[in-house]
Chain A
Amino acid sequence: MEWETVIGLEVHVSLSTKSKLFSGSSTEFGAEPNTQANIFDCALPGTLPVFNEEALRMAVRFGVAIGAEIGKRSVFDRKNYFYPDLPKGYQVTQLDFPTVGKGALTVTLADGSEKVIGVTRAHIEENAGKSLHEEFHGMSGIDLNRAGEPLLEIVSEPEITSAEEAVAYLKKLHTIIRYLDISDAIMAQGSMRCDVNVSIRPKGETELGTRTEIKNINSFRFVEKAIYSEVERQQEILEDGGRIIQETRRYNADKDITTSMRSKEVANDYRYFPEPDLLPVVIDDEYIAAVKAQLPELPDARKARFMDEYALSNYDAGVLVSSREMAEYYEIVASKSGDSKLAANWVSQDLLGMLNKNNLEITDSPIQAERLATLIARIKDSTISGKIAKTVFEAMITEASDVDAIIEAKGLKQVTDSGEIEKLVLEVIENNPAQVQQYKDGKEQVIGFLVGQCMQLSKGKANPGQVNELLREKMQ
Chain B
Amino acid sequence: MALDKTEVEKIAHLARLHISESEAEEVTTRITDILTLIDQMQSVDTEAVEPLAHPLDVVQRLRVDEVTEENQRDTLQQLAPASEDGLYLVPKVLD
Contact = CB atoms under 8 A, between A and B. Distances in A.
Indicate whether A and B interact.
yes
Contacts of A36: 69, 71
B56 A34 contact: no
Interface in B35-76: 53-54, 56, 58-69, 71-73, 76
Contacts of B94: 133
Nearest to B70: A38
B63 A51 contact: yes
Interface residues of A, number: 52
A53 B77 CA distance: 30
B18 interface: no
Interface stretch (A135-143, A174-182, A217-225, A347-355): A135-143
Contacts of A53: 62-65
A444 B67 CA distance: 75
Given A33-B86, A276-B54, A280-B54, A140 B93 contact: yes
The DSSP consensus for interface residues of chain A is loop
B69 A274 contact: no
Contacts of A474: none
Interface in A4-57: 17-19, 23-26, 32-39, 42, 50-56
A25 B69 contact: yes
Interface string A459-474: 0000000000000000
B12 to A, nearest CB: 12
Nearest to B68: A24
Given A52-B63, A53-B63, A133-B94, A142 B56 contact: no
A279 B58 contact: yes
B33 to A, nearest CB: 19
A188 B90 CA distance: 27
Nearest to A133: B94
A295 interface: no
A52 to B, nearest CB: 5
Nearest to B63: A50
A309 interface: no
B67 A19 contact: yes
Given A33-B85, A34-B73, A39-B72, A26 B67 contact: yes
A261 interface: yes
Nearest to A82: B16
Interface of B: 10, 14, 16, 53-54, 56, 58-69, 71-73, 76-77, 82, 84-95
List of 4 A-B pairs having minimum Cβ-Cβ separation, nearest first:
A24-B68, A141-B87, A54-B65, A53-B62
Given A52-B65, A279-B61, 14 more contacts: A18-B65, A18-B67, A25-B69, A34-B73, A37-B73, A51-B61, A56-B62, A84-B90, A133-B94, A136-B84, A143-B86, A279-B53, A279-B54, A279-B56
